A and B are shown apart, each in its own frame.
Chain A
Amino acid sequence: MAQPLNFVLNVPETPEDHGSQEPSPYDESEVHDSFHQLIQEQSQWVAEEGLELQQREPGAGGQETSGHLDESFCFVGSGQQALPGPEDALVHSTATLRILASMPSRTIGRSRGAVICQYYNRSVRLRRRVSRPELKGVRRSARPSLRLYDLELDPAALQEEEKRFLLVKELQGLPAAQRDHMLRGMPLGLAEKRCLREESQTPTGKQRGRQGPRGLFPCCGRLRDACVLALHSLGLGLLAGLHALRPWRYALKQIGGQFGSSVLSYFLFLKTLLAFNALLLLPLLAFIVGVQAAFPPPAPPGSARSFTGLELLTGGGRFTHTAMYYGYYANSTLNQPCAPAPAGGRCSREAAGLPYSMPLAYLFTVGLAFFITCVTLVYSMSHSFGESYRVGSTSGVHAVTVFCSWDHKVTQRRASRLQHDNIRTHLKELLAEWQRRRGSQSACGRLRRVAVRGLVWLLSLGTTLGCTVAVYAFSELMIKSPVSAEQEGALLALPVVVGLLNLGAPYLFRCLAALERHDSPVLEVYVAVCRNLILKMVILGILCYHWLGRRVGTLKDQCWENFVGQELYRLVVLDFVFVLLDTLLGELVWRLISEKQLKRREKPEFDIAGNVLELIYGQTLTWLGVVFSPLLPAIQIVKLLLVFYVKKTSLMANCQAPRRPWLASHMSTVFISLLCFPSFLGAAIFLCFAVWRVKPSSTCGPFRSLDSMYEAGKVWVRRLEEAGPRVSWLPWVHRYLVENTFPVYLVSALLLAVIYLHIQVVKGQRRVICLLKEQISNEGEDKVFLINKLHSVYERKERSRHRASFATVGTRIPAPQPGVMSSHPRSRLTLCHPPVPCFPQAGKIWSASRAQGRATSCRKSSRGAGTLTVHTGTCSAECWVRFAHFDSHSSLFTSPDCDPLRCCPS
């Protein structure tokens, strides 16, 4: 075996390369480390992941350079094997690529210099928008000049240092809060950010110091600085305090880690509800309950009953005459100077205090609390909508699945395995669906499916109707057979029936849903939510009619408000009991059955939609009962706290994460809007009706002498009118704006007009977005066309040059990378002899099969080292071996059986 003749070529820098110092983004980052590290990293990576040695290893250590070389390999050599390489990119030569790489749009965000430049531009824009100083007040040199614009146009024009300097200057011009915001959002390393912060902070202080004496009050500037600093630290402190208040940090992390975002969204929703209830409860506690508790009304005769324990469920008995219910509150003005006072001593002591009219406080506080809730709800809903629904969000499922579906919160091995499986199945489903969509379905199958769906809908609506009729009949029965005070347990019958229906019907719906097979899991969830919601709302509607339409009539001499309050209390408490039952039966027992009997290892899935609907139902009950039982939100808060821990425990023990992909943000938007639209709106309508139209009972409560609760406000306005001219605007406002219907109509018409305009604007924007997208795609096609043209020119040039060089030396290095090679003096390209260029026109040097065999054997032996990049390209079925960055000083090829030179033909 004759020793093959080898050429070891030092790649010289061609004169052409000297000339073309195009700023390539690859040069801007650091050049690679030692080769040794690269080998270590890669072998470790291979060992760790257990993957096959890829044809092109991702260069972990020598990042930019190896990436660059890889790319050029891809274009010249292989690329046909496993990956569907970009067709147009395959044929590009290096010169074209270099031009492409230095295109302005490509450099953004890739190198540090570009990032700095981008943020500089952004801060310039921001500063201009925020505080545009008057031109005449600014010295000439400081005026904004065209130079800034020129920078915007050409990001590569300035050196990095210069850009950085400009950025620091810009940051100095921004107010502190904005500067911090900007710094935080910058995609730079923390050390660099800190440097920027230091640099942009110190001169500002100096500047201010200089400015101070010039002003009218020399100390003013310093004082302002001190104030700003104090405010800054105060803000940080407050923020820290708020964060410390954030409850359940660890519990939420645990849930997110084990079950992912989908289940977490349920618990976050529960937390939101807690916040809403707290918001509702605070004004009620402060202005109604607290005040009335400070001035307790005289106890009604014969109300001192003993506590039996059943009250906790029924809410009656001893609880009846407490601050819990409407009937307890006085219709008088509290704290009046020596009125018929309940406690004489207190009257004399607090005679100077302001009079406090309880009916007014009751009306306005409830109204205010509802208004606050409404504003918060609408705000959070619109925010959520803005986040989760974007224009064109329906396209691009595959991309979104690949890039956004991994939940980085997940920390448990089991959960992460489940997530792997979920994503795999989802991808498979998507592919199948995509392939199926190209084919079409038979008419018969479609017809059958429509029929099944119609039948299931009919059945579920029938179930709903049945439940409604049952509740109605039962409530009529309750009216006909009044319960005596001793048998309070019988009062529980109606809530129990309602709870049972609410518990059972969803299971029936789930069974029915198993019959119809929906294509998309999202649609399935929506349909289930829709059915359950219809059931719950219809039942609540019937109950509302039962209370306001029927009970008010039958309880003539009693306090019907107390009765309704108690009824709602019972419903809330029993709802909690049934949630517990559901957890126990649906989750615990089912798990035991499936583990012990069916010997399956699968746990039941956590039904997010059903559980969230339960929460919404409970919240509706609370809102319905606020007027009749001001302490109901407190009960709800306690209930939610308990539910959180019960559900968490049950989840950890019994459940597994849902197998279906779950669009968490879409779903939370849907749930917030459900909370707003049928739930809150329904409750508000119910309460408005109760306040405006229904006559309050004449024996109890703050409105006992009036025709409606709203009358209290009217009476007050009338009294103000009599009181004097000081507040005469208020009765005027009342008369002309509230009682007169015209302004109300005007305002609602205006609101509708604004909404309509807004919709139109959004529509227009959507159209513009579509047009822009089309334009982008056209531009892309244009670009591809131009690139191809460019490439053909280069290729022609290259070909002629190549022919010449091949004829003289017989050696041609395909695709040298001048920018990279020149930066590393020791780098060499080792080529086999005779060199086997990949250009088809260069001609075959030796037989293809032989070459391929060589290459394969060599690749096998090089697996340990992991740096030998071998391409058995399909390009003219010829093999060529290329060793990137062969460092002559590293002990790369010490093993005798992996000598690169042996690959070469003898």
Chain B
Amino acid sequence: MGNKQTVFTHEQLEAYQDCTFFTRKEIMRLFYRYQDLAPQLVPLDYTSCPDVKVPYELIGSMPELKDNPFRQRIAQVFSEDGDGHMTLDNFLDMFSVMSEMAPRDLKAYYAFKIYDFNNDGYICAWDLEQTVTKLTRGELSAEEVSLVCERVLDEADGDHDGRLSLEDFQNMILRAPDFLSTFHIRI
């Protein structure tokens, strides 16, 4: 027990446990993963809450993210300033949302933010195009992409304003039972 306590104080660990979906052991494991990303940058003592950020290049090179077409968006959405550089809090937050225990609403909220490429609070046709392009590595022709976008907007846009608001998105997610299992990263 002794050497475990040197990284976090008891209160810190408890706070992390209460605010994320992780157990103590998982938090420690995640911390060591985080520390491994930049050993010379991240101290092994977090009791004084140091202000450390791991740059996006390192976050994006984690095996869990490196082949994910949305890795940049994920890092941006969860980082404080939207630049992809992450503190430990952001890092834990990201994996907490992507964990198995996180509820559907929370996941849907962050998924919406991830797909909202221009951060305007809606998924508009342009965001959709980006999504489709990333999903298919740009191997669909322009007409196909626009046709897909048109169909998606047609299906999911409940209030006919030509773009998807968070509500539209959540309604759509409700109908997709697989969302919970696919929007999930095992650590």
- Tell me if B156 and A396 are in contact (CB < 8 A): yes
Say how far A171's CB is from chain B's closest CB, in angstroms: 12
Interface string of A244-284 (1 = CB under 8 A from B): 10000100110011000100000000000000000000000
Cβ contact of B138, chosen from A51, A239, A428, A779, cutoff 8 A: A51
Q: Majority SS of interface residues in chain A?
A: helix
- Tell me if A396 and B155 are in contact (CB < 8 A): yes
Interface string of A49-63 (1 = CB under 8 A from B): 001000010111101
* B80 at the A interface (CB under 8 A): yes
* A557 at the B interface (CB under 8 A): no
* B63 at the A interface (CB under 8 A): yes
- Tell me if A33 and B81 are in contact (CB < 8 A): yes
Q: Interface stretch among B1-9, B33-41, B163-171? A: B163-171
CB-CB under 8 A for A663 and B178, given A183-B18, A189-B80, A406-B69: yes
- Tell me if A400 and B175 are in contact (CB < 8 A): yes
* A600 at the B interface (CB under 8 A): no
* A436 at the B interface (CB under 8 A): no
Complex CA gap A593/B47 in Å reads 59
- Tell me if A187 and B159 are in contact (CB < 8 A): no
- Tell me if B186 and A64 are in contact (CB < 8 A): no
- Tell me if A198 and B155 are in contact (CB < 8 A): no
Complex CA gap A407/B180 in Å reads 10
Complex CA gap A410/B19 in Å reads 26
Interface string of A440-474 (1 = CB under 8 A from B): 00000000000000000000000000000000000
Complex CA gap A38/B56 in Å reads 15
Q: Majority SS of interface residues in chain B?
A: helix
* A521 at the B interface (CB under 8 A): no
- Tell me if A403 and B131 are in contact (CB < 8 A): yes
- Tell me if B176 and A406 are in contact (CB < 8 A): no
- Tell me if A261 and B181 are in contact (CB < 8 A): yes
CB-CB under 8 A for A431 and B147, given A406-B69, A783-B159: yes
- Tell me if B89 and A191 are in contact (CB < 8 A): yes
Across the interface, name the chain A residue whose C-beta is closest to B98.
Answer: A408
Cβ contact of B159, chosen from A70, A185, A780, cutoff 8 A: A780
Across the interface, name the chain A residue whose C-beta is closest to B91.
Answer: A190
Cβ contact of B83, chosen from A61, A256, A773, A779, cutoff 8 A: A61
Interface string of A87-116 (1 = CB under 8 A from B): 111000000000011000110111000000
Cβ contact of A780, chosen from B158, B182, B183, cutoff 8 A: B158
CB-CB under 8 A for A424 and B140, given A83-B125, A390-B177, A777-B160: yes
* B184 at the A interface (CB under 8 A): yes
- Tell me if B68 and A408 are in contact (CB < 8 A): yes
Q: Which residues of A contact B63 (CB under 8 A)?
A: 411
* A66 at the B interface (CB under 8 A): yes
Across the interface, name the chain B residue whose C-beta is closest to A193.
Answer: B19
Complex CA gap A427/B17 in Å reads 41
Interfacial residues of chain A within 168-187, with CB under 8 A of chain B in the complex: 180, 183-187
* B119 at the A interface (CB under 8 A): yes
- Tell me if A427 and B144 are in contact (CB < 8 A): yes
Say how far A427's CB is from chain B's closest CB, in angstroms: 6
Complex CA gap A198/B18 in Å reads 11
Q: Which residues of B contact A252 (CB under 8 A)?
A: 186
CB-CB under 8 A for A84 and B150, given A402-B128, A406-B70, A408-B183: yes
Complex CA gap A257/B62 in Å reads 13
Interface range on chain B (Cβ under 8 Å from partner): 35 or more
- Tell me if B179 and A404 are in contact (CB < 8 A): yes
CB-CB under 8 A for A109 and B118, given A60-B83, A402-B132, A783-B159: no
* A423 at the B interface (CB under 8 A): yes
Say how far B136's CB is from chain A's closest CB, in angstroms: 4
* B152 at the A interface (CB under 8 A): yes
Across the interface, name the chain A residue whose C-beta is closest to B183.
Answer: A408
- Tell me if B82 and A86 are in contact (CB < 8 A): no
Q: Which residues of B contact A364 (CB under 8 A)?
A: none
Complex CA gap A889/B85 in Å reads 26
CB-CB under 8 A for A390 and B18, given A64-B119, A404-B182: no
Q: Which residues of A contact B160 (CB under 8 A)?
A: 777, 780-781, 783-784
Q: Which residues of B contact A650 (CB under 8 A)?
A: none
- Tell me if B144 and A109 are in contact (CB < 8 A): no
Q: Which residues of B contact A663 (CB under 8 A)?
A: 177-178
Q: Interface stretch among A355-363, A412-420, A831-839, A861-869? A: A412-420
* A639 at the B interface (CB under 8 A): no
Say how far A682's CB is from chain B's closest CB, in angstroms: 28
* A315 at the B interface (CB under 8 A): no
Complex CA gap A66/B98 in Å reads 28
* B23 at the A interface (CB under 8 A): yes
- Tell me if B172 and A396 are in contact (CB < 8 A): yes
Across the interface, name the chain B residue whose C-beta is closest to A63.
Answer: B119
- Tell me if B182 and A189 are in contact (CB < 8 A): no
Q: Which residues of A contact B148 (CB under 8 A)?
A: 398, 402, 427, 430-431
* A302 at the B interface (CB under 8 A): no
CB-CB under 8 A for A411 and B67, given A185-B103, A399-B172, A776-B158: yes
* A395 at the B interface (CB under 8 A): yes
Cβ contact of B177, chosen from A66, A239, A389, cutoff 8 A: A389
* B139 at the A interface (CB under 8 A): yes
Q: Which residues of B contact A387 (CB under 8 A)?
A: 177, 180
- Tell me if B135 and A409 are in contact (CB < 8 A): no
Say how far A458's CB is from chain B's closest CB, in angstroms: 35
Complex CA gap A110/B69 in Å reads 24
- Tell me if B19 and A184 are in contact (CB < 8 A): yes
- Tell me if A664 and B178 are in contact (CB < 8 A): yes
Q: Which residues of A contact B105 (CB under 8 A)?
A: 185
Complex CA gap A423/B142 in Å reads 16
Complex CA gap A68/B158 in Å reads 23
Complex CA gap A776/B162 in Å reads 15
Interfacial residues of chain A within 767-824, with CB under 8 A of chain B in the complex: 773, 776-777, 779-781, 783-784, 787
Across the interface, name the chain B residue whose C-beta is closest to A33.
Answer: B81
CB-CB under 8 A for A58 and B130, given A68-B120, A70-B118, A427-B144: yes
- Tell me if A407 and B118 are in contact (CB < 8 A): no
- Tell me if A423 and B135 are in contact (CB < 8 A): yes
Q: Which residues of A contact B163 (CB under 8 A)?
A: 86, 89
- Tell me if A665 and B175 are in contact (CB < 8 A): no
Complex CA gap A415/B68 in Å reads 11
Say how far B63's CB is from chain A's closest CB, in angstroms: 5
* A37 at the B interface (CB under 8 A): yes
Say how far B126's CB is from chain A's closest CB, in angstroms: 5
Across the interface, name the chain A residue whose C-beta is closest to B129.
Answer: A83
- Tell me if B166 and A108 are in contact (CB < 8 A): yes
CB-CB under 8 A for A67 and B177, given A86-B162, A398-B152, A411-B63: no
* A4 at the B interface (CB under 8 A): no
- Tell me if B76 and A60 are in contact (CB < 8 A): yes
Interface string of A314-330 (1 = CB under 8 A from B): 00000000000000000
- Tell me if A390 and B15 are in contact (CB < 8 A): no
Q: Which residues of B contact A428 (CB under 8 A)?
A: 140, 144
Could you pull out 25 A-B pairs where Cβ atoms are within 8 angstroms? A45-B72, A85-B162, A86-B162, A105-B167, A108-B167, A184-B20, A185-B106, A190-B92, A190-B93, A197-B19, A236-B23, A398-B155, A403-B115, A406-B182, A408-B70, A410-B67, A412-B67, A424-B137, A427-B148, A431-B151, A434-B151, A664-B178, A780-B160, A780-B161, A781-B160
Known: A33-B81, A61-B82. 18 other contacts (CB 8 A): A37-B83, A66-B118, A68-B120, A88-B162, A89-B162, A106-B165, A239-B23, A389-B177, A392-B175, A400-B172, A403-B131, A409-B186, A410-B68, A427-B132, A663-B177, A663-B178, A666-B178, A784-B161
Could you list which residues of chain A lie within 8 angstroms of chain B, going by C-beta atoms?
25-26, 30, 33, 37, 41, 45, 51, 56, 58-61, 63-64, 66-68, 70-71, 74, 82-89, 100-101, 105-106, 108-110, 180, 183-187, 189-191, 193-194, 197-198, 236, 239-240, 243-244, 249, 252-253, 256-257, 261, 387-390, 392-393, 395-400, 402-413, 415-416, 420, 423-424, 427-428, 430-431, 434, 663-666, 773, 776-777, 779-781, 783-784, 787
In the A-B complex, the 5 residue pairs with the closest CB atoms: A86-B162, A780-B159, A416-B67, A780-B160, A388-B177
